[in-house]
C-alpha cells in the first residue's frame, strides 16, 4: 500500500493514510471536524479538553486498521474498515453530542447526517473511485463494522484514551495493545480471547468512571443545559434555522447565537464562565422525567425566575461481547463480576440536577426550607 499522508498523533505516534483517505481528510466536510470539540464545554472544568472530532476520527481509523489486520481480514476489508472508522463521526454538528440532543429532532442523528454526507457529494465521489459509498456508510450493519463500534471497538478505545489524556484524569487508562492483540474473528464474529479479559474489564470500568466523573460532572451538565436553551431559543426566535448548524463549528455557532435576543445571555454566560448554580440534586430513582419537569416548573413559577433541570438518561447498556474460553464462547458479563456490577453502580449515581442563576439560588433554597425532595 502506498501512503500519501503522514500525521503525528498524541496517542499512536505516526499514523499513515492512503490516497483515498487523504483525499477525504482534505474535504471541507472532514476539515469542519477541526472546529467541533470532542467534549463540548467540558473544558470549563478540564481546561485541556480542547481536542476535536478531527483527531478522534483519524485515531479511530488508525486503530480500526490495526485491529482489522490483527484479526486477519484481507486488504480490501481492512481498507473498508479504516474508511468506516475515518468517517464514523462525519455527521457530527456543532457541540457534538450535546448539540445533537437538541438538534436531532430537526436534523436527524449524527449517524443519519453522516450517511447522507458519505453517499452524496464530494466524499461520495472520492469513494466511488474504488468503493461503493453506501457499503462504507452501512458497514456498521456488517460483522466487521464491530471493529469500530462495539463495546471493545476502536471508537470507544480511542475516545476514552484521548479524553483522559486531554483532561488529565487517570480514569481512561486502557491497555489498548493487550486488547488489540487478544481480539480475534471466530466464525465471522469479533471476540476476545480469555487472556484479554482483564484488559477488557479495565476498558469497561474506564468508560463507567469517565462518564460519572468527567462527562457527567455537575458543572458540565449545567453548561450543557445552558447550551440547550441557547440553541432552542435561537431557533425559536428565528435568529437561526436548524439547518445552519450543519456547517458550523462550535465558535461559529456561538457567534451566531449571540445575535439572538433570547439566547444571548446563555451564550455570554458560557463564554465568560458565568454559569447557573446547582440548587439541589435528587436520585433519579426517586423522580421520573415528568415529576422532575413538574418540580422545575413549580419552582420557577414560585420565585418568578428561570429554573433549569438536567435529567440524566440511563447510559449503561448490557455489554454485548463474547470471550473465547476453554468451554467455548461465553458472554463477558457471565465471566466478569466487575462488569455485572457496573449497571447497579450507575443506577446509584443517577441524579436529576436543578439549577438557576446564582442570584436566585439562596431565594429558592429559602423557599424550599426543609421540604423533602
Residue 364 CA to its chain's centroid (Å): 34
pLDDT score of 373 more than 80: no
Stretch 271-292: mean pLDDT: 89
pLDDT in tens, 105-118: 999 999 999 999 99
Averaged pLDDT of the chain: 93
- Range with the lowest mean pLDDT among 6-20, 101-115, 174-188, 309-323? 309-323
The model's confidence at residue 349, banded by pLDDT at 50, 70 and 90, is confident
In a domain, 116, yes or no: yes
pLDDT over 90 for what percent of the chain?
Answer: 77
In the prediction, which pLDDT does 371 show? 59
What is the distance in angstroms between the CA of the first residue and the CA of the last residue of the chain? 63
Q: Would you state the pLDDT for residue 368?
A: 76
What local confidence, expressed as pLDDT, does residue 303 receive? Answer: 83
Structural domain contains residue 101? yes
pLDDT score recorded for residue 292: 87
What pLDDT does residue 320 have? 87
- Across the range 153-173, mean pLDDT stands at 94
Domain-located, residue 324: no
Could you read off the pLDDT of 190-221 as tens digits, one per residue?
999 999 999 999 999 999 899 888 999 999 99
- 292's CB contacts (< 8 A; 6+ apart) are 282, 309, 311, 352
- Domain assignment of residue 52, yes or no: yes
Cα–Cα distance measured from residue 239 to residue 328, given in angstroms and rounded to the nearest whole number: 59
Q: What is the pLDDT of residue 338?
A: 87
C-alpha cell at 124: 461520495
For residue 372, pLDDT over 60 is answered with no
Which of the 8 DSSP states describes residue 316? -
Query: Taking 60 as the threshold, does the pLDDT of residue 370 lie above it?
Result: no
Residues 6+ apart with CB under 8 A from 202: 173, 174, 175
- Give the pLDDT confidence of 297-344 residue by residue, as tens digits: 988 988 888 999 998 766 666 788 999 999 999 999 889 888 888 877
Could you tell me the CATH number of the domain that includes residue 106?
1.10.3210.10
Range of the domain at 14: 1-167
337 within domain boundaries: no
Q: How far apart are CA 100 and CA 343, in angstroms?
A: 25
pLDDT one-digit tens code per residue, 72-101: 999 999 999 999 999 999 999 999 999 999
Under 8 Å CB-to-CB from 290, ≥6 apart: which residues?
A: none
Residue 64 domain-assigned?
A: yes
State the maximum Cα–Cα separation within the chain, in Å, rounded to a whole number: 70
How many domains, in total, are found in the chain? 1
Dist CA 178 CA 247 (whole Å): 39
% of the chain exceeding 70 in pLDDT: 95
Asked whether residue 322 is assigned to any structural domain, the reply reads no
pLDDT at 4: 84
Would residue 143 count as lying in a domain? Answer: yes
Amino acid at each position: 500500500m502506498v501512503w500519501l499522508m503522514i500525521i503525528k498523533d498524541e496517542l499512536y505516534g505516526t499514523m499513515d493514510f492512503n490516497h483515498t483517505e487523504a483525499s477525504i481528510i482534505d474535504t471541507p466536510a472532514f476539515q469542519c471536524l477541526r472546529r467541533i470539540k470532542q467534549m463540548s464545554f467540558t473544558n470549563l472544568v478540564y481546561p485541556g479538553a480542547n481536542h476535536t472530532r478531527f483527531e478522534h476520527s483519524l485515531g479511530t481509523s488508525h486503530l480500526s486498521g490495526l485491529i482489522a489486520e490483527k484479526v486477519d481480514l484481507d486488504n480490501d476489508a481492512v481498507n473498508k474498515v479504516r474508511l468506516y472508522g475515518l468517517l464514523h463521526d462525519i455527521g457530527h454538528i456543532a457541540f457534538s453530542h450535546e448539540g445533537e440532543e437538541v438538534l436531532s429532532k430537526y436534523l436527524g442523528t449524527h449517524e443519519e447526517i453522516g450517511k447522507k454526507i458519505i453517499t452524496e457529494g464530494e466524499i461520495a465521489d472520492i469513494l466511488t473511485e474504488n468503493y461503493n459509498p453506501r457499503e462504507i456508510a452501512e458497514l456498521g450493519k456488517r460483522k466487521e463494522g464491530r471493529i469500530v463500534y462495539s463495546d471493545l471497538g476502536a471508537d470507544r478505545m480511542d475516545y476514552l484514551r484521548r479524553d483522559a489524556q486531554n483532561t488529565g484524569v487517570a480514569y481512561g487508562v486502557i491497555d489498548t495493545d493487550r486488547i488489540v492483540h487478544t481480539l480475534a474473528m471466530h466464525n465471522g464474529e469479533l471476540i476476545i480471547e480469555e487472556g484479554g479479559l482483564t484488559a477488557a474489564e479495565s476498558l469497561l470500568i474506564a468508560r463507567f468512571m469517565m462518564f460519572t466523573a468527567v462527562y457527567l460532572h455537575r458543572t458540565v451538565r449545567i453548561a450543557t443545559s445552558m447550551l440547550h436553551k441557547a440553541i432552542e431559543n435561537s431557533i425559536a426566535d428565528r435568529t437561526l434555522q436548524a439547518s445552519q448548524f450543519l456547517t458550523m463549528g462550535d465558535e461559529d455557532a456561538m457567534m451566531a447565537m449571540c445575535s439572538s435576543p433570547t439566547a444571548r445571555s446563555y451564550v455570554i454566560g458560557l463564554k465568560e464562565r458565568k454559569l447557573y448554580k446547582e440548587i439541589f440534586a435528587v436520585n433519579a430513582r426517586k423522580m421520573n422525567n415528568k415529576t422532575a419537569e413538574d418540580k422545575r416548573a413549580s419552582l420557577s413559577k414560585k420565585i418568578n425566575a428561570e429554573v433549569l433541570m438536567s435529567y440524566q438518561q440511563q447510559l449503561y447498556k448490557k455489554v454485548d461481547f463474547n470471550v473465547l474460553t476453554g468451554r467455548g464462547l461465553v458472554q463477558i458479563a457471565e465471566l466478569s463480576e466487575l462488569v455485572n456490577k457496573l449497571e447497579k453502580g450507575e443506577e446509584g449515581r443517577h441524579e436529576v440536577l436543578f439549577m438557576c442563576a446564582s442570584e436566585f439560588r439562596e431565594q429558592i433554597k429559602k423557599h424550599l426550607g426543609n421540604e423533602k425532595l
